Structure 1
Amino acid sequence: MDSLLELNRVNTAREIIRKKIQNTGRNSIYDLTGLCGGFEICEENLKLIETYVGPAIFSEKLNNAGLSHLSGNSKIHNAVCFNRTSSAILSTIMTISKSFEKLVHYVPEKPAHPSIPRSCKIFGMEYFESDSLEEILSKIDENSFTVITGATMDHKVVSEEIAGKIIAYAKSKNSPVFFDDASGARLRQLYGESPALEMGADLVVTSMDKLMEGPRAGLLAGNKNLVDQIYSEGLKFGLEAQAPIMAAVVTALESFDLNNLKNAFERAEKVDLSVLETEKVEYKKTPTGFIIKNPSEEKLIETALKLLENYGIVTITAAGMPGASKNIRIDFCSKDAERISDEYVINAVLNSLK
């Protein structure tokens, strides 16, 4: 979809949200994106969110909490924060493009998040993407930078077996491995999979607002030398997280509780979607909710905007950034999901589709 049309969609969704809150308050909005995030900062840290004082304090706390969250080893790994996961990816590819000619990207299901191919285009890196293990292995060599997506935009999770094979093969070819684990760092925990750094990835990035209550920011961790180079490049272009974001990320990391995800996981398993089958609506269950698929992109967007205007349900399809998946994803991991029933959500989806 054209970028200006995407922006128009985002602005339309924002106007609907603004009017609903003005008319009926925040409780009339139910953010079911799985990206609702949060921005909690304790009183002590509020006094430190200054341009230079803040990063001096929060960088150390963030490194410790970030490595703990991603199972990093403080002897060989560092963790830093960017203002977006896409910013961390952009800074990584900007740095890597100086040493490698191409990027080889495995995704559990195409397409990949647009931030990776778009960054490659900016810095002139050859880009190859596939969901076939054989194709990916055939493309990896000493001139390639290898990327693995831990979970797709629609929450399809990579298997640890496939990820392990790619990492091992890339290592044999001296190709560094970057794990794009935006939501996967937590989703894969639900399935008992190993953290990316423990599997041998050189770098991993995860989103602080995906399936956890943190701000929209990207946590990058991995090999100290690589992380330092990437962060240094990011600083030149203002891609790094500022003190308020760093403070909120520290809070989110230190307070993260996997049980909240487990509760959403259990609800998603139990939700009865038989009425969707009766109405011939194509859907797919996800680890923490379900997805409506198949209608045209225009129909999905129209439905998502009706969901928002008539029922207060916020989805990525309506309010997400340009390039995000257009399938309507309902995610039960947000606090707002606790305030509405499964029946309310399903009836809202059916009526909006009609």
Structure 2
Amino acid sequence: MSSSRNFRWAVAGVLAALAVAAAAQGTNRFPGIGRDATPKEVKAWDIDVRPDFKGLPEGSGSVRQGMQVWEAKCASCHGVFGEANEVFSPLVGGTTADDIKTGHAARLKDPGFPGRTTLMKTATLSTLWDYINRAMPWNAPKTLSTEEVYAVTAYLLNLGEIVPEDFTLSDKNMAQVQARLPNRNGMSSAHALWPGKEFQAGAKPDVQAKACMSNCAPAPQVRSALPDHASNNHGNLAQQNRPVGAQHGIETDGGASRKAQPAPAATQVPTALLEKNACIACHGMEQKIVGPAFKDIAGKFGGQTDYLVGKIKSGSTGVWGSIPMPPQPQLSDDDARIIANWLAGNKKP
């Protein structure tokens, strides 16, 4: 018994010594490996804006400026008036002047109203500004300047009749505009999930973390799917997601997209460029998605490389319908010509 007790004490002593050594090593991080991030590097990532507008950069943008940015970079996906198109959900609609007064979007509780637009659901203006800043436009996230983000947000708010046409949104008046958001009172912070006591003092979690392990029902398998004849109607869903985030579309073309696709012309498909610049988010090889199929573009503008370069770089509208194609400023002239040559059918890039 005595020797067993001594052995346990010896093991405990060794473990304590190891714990102290590990703690000491932790204070030194990993000597010789890596470095501390510079202030500029931290600032580049620390861009979130809180509901109390902490983190909001200085700047401003008018509704009129926002309309110009919107038509160039946003309307192709979200519509000229925020009505969106057949791929994306509407941003504007479903709110009234009474909602602006009460802060509750009444139609959220109306079973007869089919849609749930962004302005119906959003409770904090910081969410709108922050998302536009970090994720838009679809094909070139984080390329909008601070002034452009303010301007686009102002234009979107004007479409929802929250601010007038001559309004200029800035970091100085964001709080006043927040007080006019149609669903600003539609979110509760009494669940202790909100950051910091300054938002909800004394709140307690609405769950107690007590696991129930008896009478467990089988886990339901819920899946929504289109019938086979319609699943690929708008192109392969797996190719219509950006290469970031947790959600990815399923293969709806029977795996054909993973096979060798015939190029619209005689040259090899510049797949890497099409994926890098999110071209396949709006264009399918043989089917229209948001914009026309590459096959149709090649058939209409074969041999017209210079014309296609201009349209790719500066954008286009009215050629294939009412949905405009935004300019592609991030695309270099050389890369634009490679894509244009492929579409035009020229054998040499």
Q: Is the TM value for this pair above 0.5?
A: no
Structure with more relative contact order (C-alpha pairs < 8 Å, separation 6 or more): 1
Q: Which has the larger radius of gyration?
A: 2
TM range (shorter): under 0.3
Task: Return the structure number with greater helix share.
Answer: 1
Task: Return the structure number with greater strand share.
Answer: 1
